[in-house]
Amino acid sequence: MLSGLLVLFSGLVVYDVAALRDMRFRAPEAAKTGDAVTLECDYDLESAALYAIKWYRNEVEFYRFVPKESPPWQTYVVPHVDVDVSRSNSRHVTLRNVERATAGKFKCEVSADAPLFHTDMKTADLIVADVPEDGPVLRTEGHKVTPGETIRANCTTPGSYPRMNVTWYFNNVKVRPNDADVRLIDDVVRFDALPGLETVRSSVSVTATPALFVDGKLAVRCKATLFALYEASKETDVLEAAPQLALMIHPSTASEAHGFRVPSRIMFIVMLHTSVILLFRHTPG
């Protein structure tokens, strides 16, 4: 019985189990229309050899690399996906001249060689953006305000896809929607002349207070961003105007019966005017 077990176990082949570990997929968050994009699939096969790495967009295979084949690479026709074979290998694939239709969910699938053929996969989303060259346009309603008035500013971004993010700053301090007395509104506009592009019209309003100004000036700035592909700002100054001095009539303790005391300058003008009228009335005609 024992000898039979020894014969049985002597016929078994024991393999050093190698795992596919630490697989990571690196892709840019967004790419610019017309650019080349490199996707990276990193992994650790330990002591195993690579059998194949396959790349997919929206579950459709467009590139594979099999070291044992000659040539080791193979591409498949997928609309809007153009593989640069010279810049692609067992860990990278490079796409040329990407367009908005190239965007989607990309996947890399790695398989270890025999005997285990351990397979793992990772996915990442890629956005392809239309990035303009122009900057935002900033306008304010007036450039001088008095305390208590409302400061209003509008920032319009150039057309892009997707829409841009607009951030406001007062004296280099970021304006937040929950800031006291601040109102922020963003509208997205689409023009027939710019098909597929979106323009953001952002507005901010705040009540002018002395604390809002530094040395009599409020620097208003809007910054437009689109991922890491675009950033542009415009800034203007709003000046603090001196408050209008109103004509003050003070209560008079000497004239409590009437309740007010007339300032001496006004009293002099009234008396002079009255004297002139009386003089003309008493001058013989």
Question: CB of 112 within 8 A of CB of 120?
Answer: no
- For domain 137-240, the CATH architecture is Sandwich (2.60)
| Percent share of the chain, pLDDT over 70 | 78
Q: Is residue 243 over pLDDT 80?
A: no
Q: Is residue 6 over pLDDT 80?
A: no
124-179 per-position pLDDT tens digit: 999 999 999 999 999 999 889 999 999 999 999 999 999 999 999 999 999 998 88
d(CA 198, CA 189): 6
**Mean pLDDT for the chain overall:** 83
Question: Which residues have CB under 8 Å from 36's CB, separation 6+?
Answer: 84, 87, 94, 95, 96, 97, 98
174-233 per-position pLDDT tens digit: 999 888 889 999 999 998 878 899 999 999 999 999 999 999 999 999 999 999 999 999
Q: Which CATH number is correct for 17-129, 2.60.40.10, 2.30.42.10, 3.40.50.300, 3.30.930.10?
A: 2.60.40.10
Q: Where are the domains of the chain?
A: 17-129, 137-240
Mean pLDDT of 30-44: 96
pTM of the model as a whole: 0.74
pLDDT of residue 194: 81
